[in-house]
Structure 1
Amino acid sequence: MTQLKNKNTHSMDKVRSFIAIETNEELESSLNELIEKLERMGFKANWTRTKNIHLTLFFLGDQKMEKIAELAYKIGERVSGFPTFHFNINKIGYFENSSIPKVLWLGIEEEQSLIGLSEEIKKVLSISNLEFKNDIFVPHITVGRVKSNPNHWRELIKTINFDQIRVYVNSIGIYSSELTRKGPIYKKLYTVDFEGGVIING
């Protein structure tokens, strides 16, 4: 049975929130180098801050803290005993619209355990009557939302070599997201550990 390892009192106000997987310091370092390279090529974007980097599983929208606490507990019950696994980040890609790049991202090698984890969480969200985008899960890590781009941008992206990075996963996090003029501020509210247990961070 999932147990709360810490106690805290939360406000009942709604917060913008999402479920995600933490990455690691190796990716943070590589992301900085990648952004510098893209800027030298002429890309301008709202770049992801390295301290904010994560793999989003589900965006929850505005939820009451009471509902988020309940959700953390239910997810903890569902994924208790889920095996530790890893995924590989191995390429850079983009989403485009009318031949204009909109988002640059890092792609993840297909990993069945990652897909399986997202499916387990999706079941909990459905049982909890939470609305979420039920799109096909395409795991990726956002690098930046493009404001302007150089000519021949596709060819430039193809020249970028991204060394594979392995990320190990033994827990997930539920985060709040506060939008500010300087970009979003993320705060981990709960850590749900595969070994059983929900840690209150916020």
Structure 2
Amino acid sequence: MEKRPHYFFAVRIPEHAKLVMKDHLEKIRDMIPFSRWVHDQDLHITLAFLGGAPSDILTEAVKNVKIALSDEKTLTLNINKLGIFGSVTSPRIFWAGIEESTHLQVIRKKVFAACELAGFQLETRPFRPHITLARKWIGEHPFQNEMLKLWEELQPTPLSFDAVDVVLYQTHLNKTPKYEAIKTYPLTSTKTFK
């Protein structure tokens, strides 16, 4: 039986920010041994992971998210730190963190509610906006917290970018990059009235 593709809604990272991050990651990759590094074109901030979505519920979510984001504006986000999820000595996920943004929290709540309204049962953990950089620690020695300070050395000020859209991505496990934009929801720079 063929596996159903996975889908998720995310904030797209613009090209200029991806290029800066790619450059930083190439410099630290050898110092921080993880099994799988995320391709720079796959960098994003997940808002709602849908998993293997039945087409009727996915269609409903696509419609609901369009309505929910119809009056949302572009937002400026700042990448300001590195972090980990999982064991402190052998982390499962290595990520870049986003400075606190009330606007991002609002957008996430709208997307999340729109997906639940469509019938999805979503992850209930608190939203911790981040950009996954790598997975599965494979170092010979335990992970050291000092490694998280490498970001500040490479990027002394936060890496700022304008998030101009939310995207519905489909995962292709056999491709690189593996996330394909299926639907794009532009965030308007100013409200338009019709």
Give TM-score, length-normalised by structure 1.
0.80
Greater strand proportion: 1
1:134 maps to 124
* Deviation of the 1:39 alpha carbon: 2.7
1:154 aligns with 2:154: no
TM-score, normalised by the number of residues in structure 2: 0.83
Mapped pair 1:192 → 2:185: yes
The residue aligned with 2:191 is none
Determine the structure 1 residue equivalent to 2:82. Answer: 92
CA distance in 2, matches of 1:184, 1:103: 18
Return the alpha-carbon distance in structure 1 between the equivalents of residues 4 and 90 of structure 2: 35
The CA RMSD over aligned residues, in Å, is: 2.2
Q: 5+ residue gaps in structure 2?
A: 189-194
Counterparts of 1:159 and 1:83, CA distance in 2? 33
What letter corresponds to residue 146 of structure 2 in structure 1?
A: E
Offset of 1:183 from its aligned partner?
6.0
**Any idea what the Cα deviations from partners look like across 1:8-43, whole Å, max 9, x if unmatched?**
xxxxx9431000111122322222233223233252
Change beyond 3 A, Cα 1:84–1:99: same
Q: Which range moves more in the overlay, 135-144 or 65-74?
A: 65-74
Quote the Cα distance in structure 1 between the aligned partners of 2:29 and 2:187. Answer: 39
Give the structure 1 partner of residue 159 of structure 2. 165
Among the aligned pairs, what percent are the same residue?
24
CA distance in 2: counterparts of 1:74 and 1:98, whole angstroms: 39
Q: Distance in 2 between matches of 1:123 and 1:45?
A: 34
Secondary structure of 1:41's aligned partner: coil
Shift of 1:159: 4.1
Q: How many residues align?
A: 182
The CA deviation string for residues 25-64 of structure 1, in whole angstroms up to 9 with x for no partner, is: 2322222233223233252330000111111111101113
1:43-192 matches, within 5 Å, as 43-97=33-87, 99-149=89-139, 151=141, 153-161=144-152, 162-163=154-155, 164-180=158-174, 185-192=178-185
